[in-house]
Amino acid sequence: MLSLRVSKTLFSPRFSRALATSITNKDATLYLKTGEFFKGQSFGAPRSVLGETVFSTSITSYTESMTDPSYRGQILVFTTPLIGNYGVPKNETLIDSRDVGVVLESKRIQCAGVVVADVANDYSHHSAVESLHSWCLRHNIPGITGVDTRAVTTLLRDQGTTLGKLAVHPDDLTSPVPEEYWDPSKENLVDQVSTREAYVLNAQGDVKIAVLDFGVKANILRSLVRRGASVTVLPWNFDFNTIRDDFDGLFLTNGPGDPMHCIEAAMNVRRTLQEWHKPIFGICMGHQILGIAAGLDAYRMTFGNRGHNQPVLALASSGSIKAGRVYVTSQNHQYALQLQNPFPEGWEPFFINCNDSSVEGIKSTVDSGRKVWGVQFHPESAGGPLDTIEMFTDFVNECRATKASIKPDITPQIANYQAFIPNTRRAVAATA
């Protein structure tokens, strides 16, 4: 009886929708600068794009990955063979004072293109409003299907992230000359995705957190405002030191590309670390900026880590994190901090990757008296496991504790940043 009801629901027209716009089926080819090529059929926008070819081992959440600003400039290869089967949801929510206005990680598709083994023609999900093909078409992003993504992944794993061209007919007939390839890592991609103007979310929150936006994922902002914080989002190169006394904590976000393009931000954070003793938390690009500010070096990994199944070992305890435990994490990065012995004074490694031993986190030592953490992985998930989501609770609670311990005799520097905020509450966060 029960199973009959379930299957009726699953196959009712409300839950299973046919493709509104059928895929173009033009010939397409993925060319790699190293000379290999893979033939398939085009879906989404019938146009050619250049970028860095990277692979992700995520099994779900193609919609969240594709709207993550950290994928800017990248041709994203999914190792999971069937992509698109649960369609794409409407990417808008009513903005209330505690949410950020989007369902996915930003308003637009951020990656340059997608490569899949088998794009789903039909989709089925209660929140889906369109197919992967029609979403890509609307956003002018090309995809290629029918590719042996295992072969592409094996190549990228062995030779490293490789420049590529997703070429759609008739562009796919000849292989590009080496000079044609575009290397996004040479550009400051952060400047392309960071907010241009400051904005505030949940202004009535009881603790004030400043967020330096290197290309923020919406779920980071959501994770802060849902814990009661008032969040002021600032452009990546805004010097927080000019307004810092008015805040209880500083957050450094994820973002695309080489962190050395943001050395200006790292130098500002260096001064903050030296002169301001309140909690600081950095994720991914934010963790790399924090590490550079603390005196560590960043390097480019061979193929990076992208997926939702990366195990990390905690080397120290802090808040909800227990030393000796392995946490499964969501990741998307090409760069990492160098493991250095000894670590800069006042700092210690926090997490290490169980697969490749890369640095997955740093923290201020207990002796330093500071509350500063950086993690290479994404505790906010979206997509991926929520093993480390309570790090946001730890951070916001530390901001509260710091606020409670400081006598309110500081002259607010509100004038400085109000001039910088033309509209205190922008309609939609994650505008990247």
Ligand X SMILES: NC(=O)CC[C@H](N)C(=O)O
Q: Does 55 bind ligand X (CB under 6 A)?
A: no
State how far the alpha carbon of 392 is from the alpha carbons of 189, 279, 333, 397, 413, in Å: 26, 12, 20, 8, 26
Which is the catalytic residue, given 105, 333, 378, 398? 378
Task: Restricting to residues 64-93, name those near ligand X by CB under 6 A.
Answer: 70
* CB 277, CB 292: distance < 8 Å: no
Residue nearer to ligand X on the CB measure, 331 or 431: 331
| CB of residue 335 to ligand X, shortest distance in Å | 3
Which is the catalytic residue, given 136, 380, 398, 399? 380
Q: Could you say which of 107, 333, 363, 426 contacts ligand X (CB under 6 A)?
A: 333
Structure tokens at 283: 């994720």
Residue nearer to ligand X on the CB measure, 45 or 50: 50
Task: Restricting to residues 269-298, name those near ligand X by CB under 6 A.
Answer: 284-285
Structure tokens at 38: 């893979």
Q: Could you say which of 335, 343, 373, 392 contacts ligand X (CB under 6 A)?
A: 335
Residue ranges of alpha helices (H) inside 115-238 are 132-138, 149-159, 190-193, 218-225
C-alpha 383/C-alpha 64 separation (Å) is 6
Distance of CA 375 to the CA centre of its chain: 12
Q: Does 388 bind ligand X (CB under 6 A)?
A: no
Is residue 284 annotated as a catalytic residue, yes or no?
A: yes
Q: Does 222 bind ligand X (CB under 6 A)?
A: no
Q: Does 306 bind ligand X (CB under 6 A)?
A: no
State how far the alpha carbon of 110 is from the alpha carbons of 105, 216, 262, 373, 430, in Å: 10, 12, 20, 27, 12
Residue nearer to ligand X on the CB measure, 123 or 335: 335
| CB of residue 67 to ligand X, shortest distance in Å | 13
Task: Restricting to residues 238-267, name those near ligand X by CB under 6 A.
Answer: 254-257
Which is the catalytic residue, given 284, 333, 360, 399? 284
Torsion of CA 229, 282, 380, 338, to 10 degrees: -170
Q: Could you say which of 41, 334, 358, 431 contacts ligand X (CB under 6 A)?
A: 334
The footprint of ligand X on this chain (CB under 6 A) covers a number of residues equal to 11
Coil, strand, or helix at residue 378? strand
* CB 152, CB 38: distance < 8 Å: yes
| CB of residue 256 to ligand X, shortest distance in Å | 5
Q: Does 358 bind ligand X (CB under 6 A)?
A: no
C-alpha 198/C-alpha 238 separation (Å) is 9
Q: Does 374 bind ligand X (CB under 6 A)?
A: no
Coil, strand, or helix at residue 273? helix
Burial 394-431 (b: 16+ CB within 10 A, else e): bbbbbbbebbeeeeeeeeeeeeebeeebeeeebeebbb
C-alpha 144/C-alpha 168 separation (Å) is 8
| CB of residue 3 to ligand X, shortest distance in Å | 42
**Which stretch, 43-51, 89-97, 328-336, 412-420, contacts ligand X (CB under 6 A)?**
328-336
Is residue 378 annotated as a catalytic residue, yes or no?
A: yes
Q: Does 383 bind ligand X (CB under 6 A)?
A: no
Is residue 179 annotated as a catalytic residue, yes or no?
A: no
**Which stretch, 31-39, 191-199, 266-274, 333-341, contacts ligand X (CB under 6 A)?**
333-341
| CB of residue 288 to ligand X, shortest distance in Å | 6
Is residue 28 within a helix (H) or strand (E), and if so which, with residue range? strand 27-32
Q: Could you say which of 162, 232, 332, 353 contacts ligand X (CB under 6 A)?
A: 332
Q: Which residues are catalytic?
A: 284, 378, 380
What residue ranges bind ligand X (CB under 6 A)? 70, 254-257, 284-285, 332-335
